[in-house]
Amino acid sequence: MLTDRPSAQGMMTHRSARIAALALCVPLVGAITGCIPLIDDKFTFNCPQPAAAGLAIAVGARANSPAPALPTDVRKLIVDTMNGCGKITAIRVDGRPSIVDAAVFGTQARTKSNFAIDQKAFLDRASAMIANAKAGAPEANVLKALSVASDAAGPGGTVVLVDSGVQTTAPLDFRRNDLLSRRPAAVAKLLKQQRLLPNLSGRKVIMTGLGYTAMPQEPLDDRNRSTLMNLWREIVLAAGATDPVIDSNANTADSAVTSPTVSVVKFVVGDIQPRCDTLAVFPDDGAVGFVPDQARFRDPEAAHKILARFVAFLRENPTAQAVVRGYVAHYGSGDLSQRRADRVKQELATLGATRRITANGMGWGPYPSVSAPPDAKYDQKNRMVTIEVSC
C-alpha cells in the first residue's frame, strides 16, 4: 500500500466551543492522500437517483505480476462512485477469478463531521477490498477476470484491469500459442466467433500495468509489451467496449505474492519474422525509426535490412497482403504519420514488393486512448510504425 503523508488543514473554534471545520484525509491503495475541508453543520445526505454506475476493479495481486498500483484516474473513480452510491467491486485475477467483496456507500450522519467519518470508513473498506484481492488459485485467467468484472460493473459501469495481461489458461494460454506474433485483431475476431469474449458493451474499460512482469517471469522487451497492449485493446474493443484507456505507466515492483504459482511464459525476443496473420510493431527507437519531425529513416541500412524480410515473404506468398500504419507523438503533426507510412511502403516497393501494400497515417495514438488529450509520458510509445500481414 502506497500513501503520502496527509496535508494539514487549519481548525477554527466558534464561541459554542464546537468544531467548525475539519479535514478529511483518506489514503487509498496506491493513492496520494488528500484532505477535504468540512463544516460541521447539520445536513442530510441522500443518494443521487439514479445511483452512479458500478465500478469493478480486477486486481492482479498474483505471482509473476507486479504488486498492483492504482492510477490517479482510478483513485478518483473510487471517490466519485462512493459519492454517487454506486457499487464498488473487487475481483481477484488468478486461474479462477472471483469477486472478493462489494460495497455501496450509505450513511445516517446528520452532521458533516460525522459524514466525513463515514466516508473515511467506507474508503478504508474499499482500500481493504482491493488489498485483499490476492490470488487464490494457480495460473492466471485475465479474460475471465474481465468477464466477472463486466458483470459486476453492469451496463454503463467502469471495468478496471490492474494486471500484467500475461494469461496462462485457455483460450489465451501464452505458453502454448505464439499469440504476440499474431495479428491482435485476428485473435480478437477468433475469440468473438467462438463466443469466448466477455460482454463489455456499454462499459468503460481502463487497463493498467499491461506488459510489466515480476520475477521469475522475465521482463518483456518494448516490442512484446507494445504488442501485448495492442492485443488486449483489440480484445476489449471486440467485446463491445468503446475507446478503452490503456495506462502505460511502468510498474517494476516485485509481486505482491509468490503463491499460488503462475507458469513462466517464454516470449519471442529478437528480430521480427513476418508470417501470415501477424502484426509487426516497430518502436521509434528500433530499426524502422525516423529522424524527429521527418519521414527519413534514422538508420536507412537497418530499415532496409529488416524490411527486406517482408518483401521476401510477400514474394513467397502470393495471397499475402500488408498494411503499413504510421503513428506520431502529438496531435497537430499534420500528415507526418502518413508520410512515414508512405516511406515504409516506398522502401518495400524499392525492394521489390510492388503490389498488395496499403499505407495509412493514423496520427496520434493509440495510448492511452485514441481520444485522450496529448500527454508527454505517452509520446515515445506512440512513435511507431506497424506492418500487419494477412493471407
Q: Is 268 exposed, middle or buried (0-12, 13-18, 19+ CB in 10 A)?
A: middle
Residue 376 has pLDDT above 60, yes or no: yes
> Is 75 within a domain?
yes
- Do 178 and 137 share a structural domain? yes
Residues 367 and 240 in one domain: no
DSSP state of 180: G
Half-sphere exposure of 33 (CA within 13 A, CB side): 16
Question: Of 199, 228, 247, which residue sits at a domain end?
Answer: 247
- Determine, yes or no, domain membership for 176: yes
Q: Quote the pLDDT of residue 235.
A: 97
Is residue 23 in a domain? Answer: no
* CATH code for position 192: 3.40.50
Q: Are 191 and 170 in contact (CB under 8 A)?
A: no
pLDDT value, residue 140: 98
pLDDT band, very low/low/confident/very high, at 292 (cuts 50, 70, 90): confident
Q: What is the pLDDT of residue 295?
A: 92
Residues 310, 235: one domain?
no
Q: Does 13 reside within a domain?
A: no
180 pLDDT more than 90? no
Question: Residues with Cβ < 8 Å from 223, sequence gap 6 or more?
Answer: 272, 281, 282, 283, 286
Report the C-alpha gap between 106 and 41 in whole angstroms. 19
Largest CA distance in the chain: 90
Strand order in the sheet with 204-208: 98-103, 88-92, 55-59, 158-162, 204-208, 245-247
Domain boundary residue, one of 247, 267, 299: 247
CATH of the domain at 315: 3.30.1330.60
pLDDT at 33: 46
Q: Is the pLDDT at 12 greater than 50, yes or no?
A: no
The kind and range of the H/E element at 316 are helix 300-316
Q: Which of 120-134, 199-213, 322-336, 365-379 has the lowest mean pLDDT?
A: 365-379
Q: What is the mean pLDDT of residues 108-137?
A: 95
More confident residue, 11 or 388: 388
Q: What is the mean pLDDT of residues 253-280?
A: 84
pLDDT in tens, 78-110: 999 999 999 999 999 999 999 999 999 999 999
Greatest mean pLDDT among 27-31, 44-48, 54-58, 282-286: 54-58
Spatial distance between the Cα atoms of 250 and 209, rounded to a whole number of angstroms? 7
Three-state secondary structure readout of 82-97: HHCCCCEEEEECCCCC
Q: Do 355 and 232 share a domain, yes or no?
A: no
Task: Supply the range of the domain harboring residue 121.
Answer: 44-247
CA distances for 161 relative to 56, 61, 70, 134, 204, angstroms: 9, 11, 10, 14, 11
User: Is 287 a domain residue?
Assistant: yes
**CA dihedral defined by 273, 276, 277, 282, rounded to 10 degrees?**
30
Average pLDDT, rounded, for the chain: 86
The CA distance from 78 to 255, in Å, is 24
How many angstroms separate the CA atoms of 340 and 326, rounded? 6
Same domain, 204 and 318: no
Where does the pLDDT of residue 177 fall: very low under 50, low under 70, confident under 90, or very high at 90 and above? low
pLDDT of residue 380: 80
C-beta of residue 243 within 8 angstroms of C-beta of residue 207? no
pLDDT of the residue at 377: 77
Domain final residue, candidates 225, 247, 269: 247
Say yes or no: 227 and 288 in one domain: no
Looking at the structure, tell me whether residues 63 and 154 fall in a common domain.
yes
Asked, for residue 165, whether it belongs to a domain, the answer is yes
Lowest mean pLDDT among 153-162, 202-211, 243-252: 243-252
Residues 52 and 164 in one domain: yes
Same domain, 84 and 201: yes
- Is residue 254 situated within a structural domain? no
Q: How many domains does the chain fold into?
A: 2
Question: Would you call 262 helix, strand, or coil by DSSP?
Answer: coil
Asked if residue 62 and residue 179 are part of one domain, the reply reads: yes
User: How far is CA 225 from each of CA 188, 230, 239, 325, 381, rounded to the nearest angstrom?
Assistant: 17, 9, 21, 18, 10
Give the Cα separation of 175 and 190 in Å (integer).
18
Is the entire prediction scored with pTM above 0.85?
Answer: no
Least confident segment among 204-213, 228-237, 333-342: 333-342
Rounded mean pLDDT, 283-304? 88
Mean pLDDT lowest among 33-37, 168-172, 173-177, 387-391: 33-37
List the beta bridge partners of residue 256. none
Q: DSSP assignment of 233-254, as one string?
A: HHHHHHTT-SS-EEE-----PP
Report the pLDDT value the prediction gives residue 162, as an integer from 0 to 100.
98
pLDDT tens by residue, 306-336? 899 999 999 888 889 999 999 988 766 679 9
pLDDT score for 273:
73
214 and 82 in a common domain: yes
Q: What is the mean pLDDT of residues 210-233?
A: 90
Express each pLDDT in 187-219 by its tens digit. Answer: 999 999 999 999 999 999 999 999 999 999 988
Radius of gyration of the chain (CA): 24
**69: confidence class by pLDDT, cuts 50, 70, 90:** very high
Q: Is there a single domain that holds both residue 152 and residue 288?
A: no
Is residue 156 a part of any domain in this protein? yes
**pLDDT at site 254:** 94
pLDDT over threshold 60, residue 288: yes
Q: Is 309:272 a contact under the CB 8 Å cutoff?
A: yes
